[in-house]
Amino acid sequence: MRFNRRNSQLQPRNGPEPGDIPAAIGQYALANIVNMDQTLLSFEYLEGRTYNKKGEKTIWAQSSQSGWDKRQATIQLTVFADGIPPVKPLVFFRGMGVGATILTKQATYDPRVVVKFNPKPYANSSNMVQWLDQ
């Protein structure tokens, strides 16, 4: 902790102008400061529930039989302090990623997003290494 505190302190510069955006925080370049997190990506929110004002007499609810409530995915977002995204967002779907249906769907995925399939819809060490290599 002492190392991080010492090296992340703002250093005095020669004549910085007010409003300048620093290129570094202490000894760390902004391009090297990163935050990464994964979160569940739901396809069907609050199954069997609806948004209505409290006290309304009639509440309309629509139920879908599409199976979207069983679809599971995780999205991984990476944010760099300089605002330049050198890595693509990553989406993990549950499944093996094989079959004619999956192959036709893969053409519809945005090329700015990496899509991976995993038996469980979250990252493990092997698919994280593949993503970093890409």
pLDDT in tens, 33-66: 889 998 887 766 555 566 677 888 877 666 555 5
Structural domain including 89 reads 34-46+67-134
Both tokens assigned to 68: 């979207």
Domain count, the chain: 1
pLDDT in tens, 58-100: 776 665 555 555 667 888 899 998 888 888 888 888 777 777 7
Please report which helix (H) or strand (E) contains residue 104, including its range.
Answer: helix 100-106
Whether 53 is covered by a domain: the verdict is no
User: Is the predicted pLDDT of residue 15 greater than 50, yes or no?
Assistant: no
User: Mapping DSSP to helix (H, G, I), strand (E, B) and coil, where does residue 118 land?
Assistant: strand
Whole-model pTM: value is 0.62
Mean pLDDT of the chain: 75
Whether 92 is covered by a domain: the verdict is yes
User: Count H helices, E strands: the chain?
Assistant: 3, 6
